[in-house]
Amino acid sequence: MKGLAKALVVYYSKFGNTEKIAKAVAAGLQSGGMDADTAKVDTVNFDELSEIDLLCVGTPVHAWNVSKPAKEFLERLKGLEGLSGKKAFAFDTRFKSRMAGSAGGKVEKKLKEMGFVVAKPASSAIVLGQQGPLEEGAEETFRQIGEELASMM
């Protein structure tokens, strides 16, 4: 019998908002029946990535783009074997303004280039101020996204 499908939610968070969303996604994955963990981009054990079925990557939007720590994580992912064909989901935290830009789509594009299969289109959580808080209901929305992702696995 095959064990539980495994997911890893990797994130970079400066003020804790992206971390809250990452933990909400992981909670949804778990309640959906997956074995899910979270890890900051600088604590990922790259040797264990071949064992996961789903990789979720989250970053705040920095200057209309992916944060530098998340970019560095994606660069390190590039050379790894055994990731092609695995499922992926990207998310970001950003201001509501159209001018805020998006990082999730850029992360998703990089993951696709590495051979990941996008399980669900990138999503954004809205942050109301420089240091937060998150828009009301954001964590619950991403918990539900986690459950949806788990049901697809």
Arithmetic mean of pLDDT, 48-73: 95
Strands (E), the chain: 6-11, 35-40, 54-62, 65-66, 87-94, 117-118, 123-126
Q: 45-67 as b/e, with b when 16 or more CB fall inside 10 Å?
A: eeeebeebebbbbbbbbbeeebb
- On the question of pLDDT at 1 being above 70, the answer is no
pTM of the model: 0.96
Q: Domains in the chain, ordered, with CATH?
A: 6-152 (3.40.50.360)
Q: Which two tokens stand for residue 52?
A: 């996961």
Residue 98 is predicted with a pLDDT of: 75
Residue 134 is predicted with a pLDDT of: 97
Match 């696995």 to its residue by tokens. Answer: 153
- On the question of pLDDT at 150 being above 70, the answer is yes
pLDDT classification of 63: cutoffs 50, 70, 90: confident
- On the question of pLDDT at 68 being above 90, the answer is yes
Residue 2 is predicted with a pLDDT of: 54
CB 153 within 8 A of CB 28: no
Residue 152 is predicted with a pLDDT of: 95
pLDDT classification of 24: cutoffs 50, 70, 90: very high
Q: Give the pLDDT confidence of 102-148 residue by residue, as tens digits.
A: 899 999 999 999 999 999 999 999 999 889 999 999 999 999 999 99
